[in-house]
Each structure stands twice: as C-alpha cells, then as structure tokens.
Structure 1
C-alpha cells in the first residue's frame, strides 16, 4: 500500500513538473528614432518631458503585482521589450509581440506611432496602453476600442492649470505660445480650458527662437511681457527650450506656469504622500535618476494590466478590456484616490500634481469644481464632449 501511494505521488509530481510554468507576458513597444529619447533631449531634463526609457518602471510594477499574479496561477511575470527602428516598423514589431503570446502591450511611442499601432491592432486579441503620447486626438477622433491611456492628455493638463488660475482668482492671464504644430496643440487645449471655466486671456503673444536678427524680438522675454498688468504668464512650448528662460525674466514679478515654472503632470519626485516616497526611492535605486510623469504612466499601465489579469484569471482579452473600461476595476496609483479608465475614451482618471522645481504646490482637481460622477472627470474631455466614436 505504501509503495502504491509513493508511486502515485511520484506520478502526480512528475505530471505537474511536466506542465510548463505559466507566465504573464507584458509587452513594451518603443521606437528607435523617437527624438524625445535622444541623448540631446534627455540631457535638458525639461519639466514634463521624458527623463529616460521607462522599462524599469514597468518591471517595478510587475514585481509589485507578483503576489496577485501568483494567486491567479501565474508562476512568473516577464517584460518583453521590442524596439522598432522607425514608425514604418511598428506593425511588424507588434506582430512579433503577439506571436510570443503577449496580449497586453505598453506603447512608449509618439502620437503618430500610437495611432499606427492602434490601426494595426484592430480586430486583434490585444489591449494597448498609451504611456507616452498626451495628444488629445488619440482620445478623440483617432481613438480605438482597445486603446487605453495612462499618460494625462493635454486637455487634462490645461484643465488642471486653469482650475488653479480660477481658484486663485488670477484672471488676467498673459499667454505666450510657440510656432510649431505641437505648440498649437497646447494652445488649443489651453484655449478650450479657459472657455470651459469662464476665463479669457488678457493677451496671447507668439514667441519664436530664431537666429534671424529680424525675429530676435520674438524671443525676448522682457519685450513679450511688457504688457499692462497681468496676474500670471502661461507659456506653451512643447520643446521646452524657450519656456525654461521665462521664470524670473518677466517684466512684472508674476507666476509662470504651463511648460515651465508651475506645471501639471502625472507625477513628481517631490510628492511626499500616499506611498509616493517609497515608489520614488525604489525607482531611483533601480535607475539612478528621478521618476517622472512618463515613468509613472508606464508603471501605472503595467500595474493595471497585471492587477486586471490577477483579479480575472479566466477572463478573455475582450472580457478584461470590458472590465478595465468599466467601474468594476480601480487601481491605487499612490495619489490618494482610486483610479479607473473612462469608458468613452479609455483615459485613466487621475489627480494631477501642480509641481514646481522642488515641490508640489497643489493637486487637481481643486476644491470647488464639482461633477455628477466624480470630480476627476473635471479634468479632460467628459462623456458629452468626446469625439471618440470607437467605444
């Protein structure tokens, strides 16, 4: 009898050992010619720009979610990174991930790359997370049913800044806007926010950095701010080179916000509440640099993907996507409130940190801005406003 039991135990153990260990695979898709991650761009360290590649943030999130994944039957979690040399190589890079069994893919890509991958992924068994493109169109006319966003949109950032202006009663706003297409996107988002919250700019002036002597005045902060009295200066500069020189150079001693001075973002190394210091220190230990908004967006997307799978181990990809875009799942982003994805455009609801060079001044949404569902929906496009048709 004992020999028979030992034999049965041995056979059962051998059968279990013969079964391959189940691993949760998380994809990370990058683009080699993304200028935001060039050495020259990273050296500047401008506010609300990437500080480096964010793969370490994804790995931290997978480590954080190991217990939940193990309870769901996953023996391990693996980050699978694929880099396409350029935008033309992104569909093939996505297919490479899918062939490996990846069903959740983080997109550390510029807006055009995100749109290209979302188009290539139509009808495929995959959930995409945009972690690096804040452009509003990706949540609007270019949205996709399986595309979620953890990086805040331009509209969310602008709403956070305008809420601050309204609460502080800094109603006379001087706006300095750049000439590039990316600058115009920032300007459009800010104009929408001003209208949304009932403010009007005192004046809007174009700036331009140029070596042409005839255009030198367009880059002179003193001349651009020699306006009648204003309460604050908003600078909208997607590149960041002009904006860095605006604080402390205005004619009047006024607050500067927007692309420099006081900024609205997903994260700040100086946030010292809700478990943020522990996350910041773990990231700094792993990378020898501070954690920024793009890193947080990647960490949050990886955490959301892993926790969704952990909570629904038998769900199909389509069922997981449906759960993610409902109120059934919420996540702790170390910002004090449960975070969830909006059903109408896939954007992650989240507070934004109004931060400056060495601290956090406030957190949006600010007190006094109400919403019938959640005050987090006062940031960004609400359901009645969305241009997204693919839900």
Structure 2
C-alpha cells in the first residue's frame, strides 16, 4: 500500500503544471445616450452596451476553458467632454487593444486615429453613418452595427414586397434626421418606391414627455399629415427621437407608419425569438433583469467575433485576429437564420435586418425575390461596385 501511495505521489509531482490561460482583454468604450426619449420604455440602462459585452465574454469563456483562453472586459464610460482618443490610449495601457466602441461618428474617428498608432482594433456597435463605411472608412474599424442604408433597404424591401410603394416622408430637423431621410430616398430609388411628398417636423424644444403631451400631439399630428397626395405608408425619419413615436394612430389619413416608429428596421429586438434567439434573450434577462436591445446585441456579437477569431487562430495578437475576421474563412452564428460574414471592402458585417413593431418581429429582410450574385445579404446597403471606401 505504501509503495502504491509513493508511486501515485511521484506521478503527480512529475506531472507538468497546468499552463495559465491566455488572457484576452477587451475594452468597452461607450458614451452616454440621451435620456430625452418619447417613451419611458426607451430610457437607456446604466449598463447599456456593457451588458451585451459581458454576456459575450461569458460565452467566450465557456469555450475558453477548453482552449486555454480567458476573456476579460474593461469598461470605459466617457462623458461628453472627454477625448475618445485618450480613452483608447488608457485602454491600450491596460492591455486592451481590442475595443468595442459605442460612440458617435466624430468620436469613433478620433478613437480610430489613436487606435491606428497603438495597433488597436475597434468594433463599431452603434454608429450607423454611411460615411464611416465610405469616404471616412478606417482599416482599424470593424462595423458590427448596420448602416442607415442597410436598415432603410431592409424596410424598403418589405414595403415593396407588400406593394406599399407610395410614401409620404416626414423628417426631423436635426442633421442625423436628414441623413436618415437621405438613406430612405436612396432606398426608394434603388427598389422602385416613390416618395410622393416630403415634409419637415421642426424641433422647437420643450419636454418630450409632459402631462399635456397627449392632448397637444393629438392635435398636431393630423395637421402635420393632412392634405398629402395619395400614399400607402408614412415613413418617419426621426433618429433624434423627437416626433415619430407620436405618429401611429394619429395621422390624418388612416395609414401605417414605418421607419423611426411603427414598423422599425433594427439589428435586434427584444421580441426576436426565431432561430434559437429565445435562449439568448432568456439568459440576458436572467443576468441583467431587462430585455436585450440592439446595442447590447451588437456588443455581444462583437465579443463573440473576438472569441471566434481567438479560438481559430489560437492567438491574442490583434493583427492575427483582424486578418482572420476579414478572411473568407470567417463566419459566425448570431440567431438570425444565416451565418454572418464581413464585407472585405469596408469591413461591414453582413446581416439580416429585423422589422419590428415593438412587440413582435413582423418580418426579416432580405425579402424573398431580392437576389444577388454573391450574397442576398448584399442587397442591403451599398454593394462593392458602389463603394467609395479605400481602407487606410
């Protein structure tokens, strides 16, 4: 017996110590989102975006137990005055050269300039600006969030499929509203819809949720929409969230509303449950006690992309992970019915667009009959022959 114990002891002493897992640190660089929303249900959570990244890291670590990798997130929330480039430098100093970025377009470009010097890679999970994927595209930015053109095309395909091709377009008075309106104009032209008239809703300020709001809007919205030429659907371009939520059920003519209210194109919705999405929704709700929004899901997906690249390359080096993500070998499942890939010409993630009314997902684009020689997902947004992107 003593001899057996001695042999076992000798075996364990001689066994090599288990190697420490390779730690991959991922920064979550995020700015605050406006709390001026039309609906109290749309108020941003304190852990907005971060929650999705944390869930993605937990999922990556499930695989990492077997691959000898460990994923950590570093939260970096900056206020409106802080420099995004300096925040990138701080994250890099903490060892995070992979950064999930929830930033507006100007701040994302500032972050990208610093990331280029530091050898960091950014994952854009919120900015929809076409310019970031076109003339201002950067080699160190991967776009997980869909562009305005992709969102607009997703909605337009469905409306054209429904033969609702005559639109009344009402846009807000802020620059981002005009950019969204431009995406709908381009999409209408691309798929054969017609904008019969455009109107402007001027933002005059004031509280968006007040005791007298329902009385005022019940009077304003019919006036805003009356006297229009015959149309099938009202398209609201209101990225600033000033008026679109007031339009459904208040238009002068009984017409459906789409765009920024009514039927809304989005990358994710809390009501999405197809293709196994219900289990992701349930896990998120159990962990964070709220529903998963589009920014959360984009951050989760960015984290999963990082985990997939790290697993496939057995590396934490930014250059190797980046090279894999833009290669033909990369694809990832995202509970959307198809595996997602990157467009190599501007590093935009190809993805279906959900069309939701806030309670159920009404449809998913691309729609049946909209074909493409490479991928039907490339019917959404600008295609390779149209691009102005020259990655730098």
**Same fold judged by TM-score > 0.5?**
yes
Q: Of residues 57, 60, 64 in structure 1, which corresponds to 2:59? A: 64
Q: Distance in 1 between matches of 2:100 and 2:175?
A: 26
Q: Compared with structure 1, are the counterparts of its residues 328 and 111 closer, same or farther at alpha carbon in structure 2 (3 Å cutoff)?
A: same
**Which residue does the alignment assign to 1:29?**
29
**Which residue does the alignment assign to 1:126?**
120
**Which residue does the alignment assign to 1:160?**
154
- Kindly provide the CA deviation profile for residues 114-146 of structure 1, in whole angstroms up to 9, marking residues without a partner as x: 111011111432221001111111111221112
Distance apart, 1:321 and its partner CA:
1.0
**Which residue does the alignment assign to 1:183?**
177
- Kindly provide the CA deviation profile for residues 166-191 of structure 1, in whole angstroms up to 9, marking residues without a partner as x: 11111211000111111111011111
Given that 2:24 and 2:316 are in contact with CA atoms closer than 8 Å, whether structure 1 keeps it comes out as no
User: Are 1:10 and 2:10 an aligned pair?
Assistant: no
Q: Of residues 77, 86, 95 in structure 2, which corresponds to 1:83? A: 77
- Kindly provide the CA deviation profile for residues 336-355 of structure 1, in whole angstroms up to 9, marking residues without a partner as x: 10001110111111101100
Given that 1:325 and 1:346 are in contact with CA atoms closer than 8 Å, whether structure 2 keeps it comes out as yes
Distance apart, 1:21 and its partner CA:
4.2
Q: Distance in 2 between matches of 1:380 and 1:369?
A: 13
* Helix, strand or coil at the partner of 1:362: strand
User: Are 1:54 and 2:49 an aligned pair?
Assistant: yes
* Helix, strand or coil at the partner of 1:132: coil
- Kindly provide the CA deviation profile for residues 265-305 of structure 1, in whole angstroms up to 9, marking residues without a partner as x: 01111112111111111111222211111111111101111
Distance apart, 1:87 and its partner CA:
5.4
Q: Distance in 2 between matches of 1:167 and 1:118?
A: 39
Q: Distance in 2 between matches of 1:295 and 1:365?
A: 23
What is the alpha-carbon root mean square deviation over aligned residues?
Answer: 2.5
Given that 1:179 and 1:207 are in contact with CA atoms closer than 8 Å, whether structure 2 keeps it comes out as yes
Distance apart, 1:29 and its partner CA:
0.9
Distance apart, 1:105 and its partner CA:
0.8
* Helix, strand or coil at the partner of 1:65: helix
Q: Compared with structure 1, are the counterparts of its residues 340 and 383 closer, same or farther at alpha carbon in structure 2 (3 Å cutoff)?
A: same
| Structure 1 residues 359-370: aligned runs within 5 Å | 359-370=360-371
Q: Distance in 2 between matches of 1:165 and 1:7?
A: 73
Consecutive unaligned residues of structure 1, counting only runs of 5 or more, are none
Q: Distance in 2 between matches of 1:50 and 1:326?
A: 35
* Helix, strand or coil at the partner of 1:345: coil
Q: Distance in 2 between matches of 1:339 and 1:92?
A: 32
Q: Distance in 2 between matches of 1:51 and 1:123?
A: 33
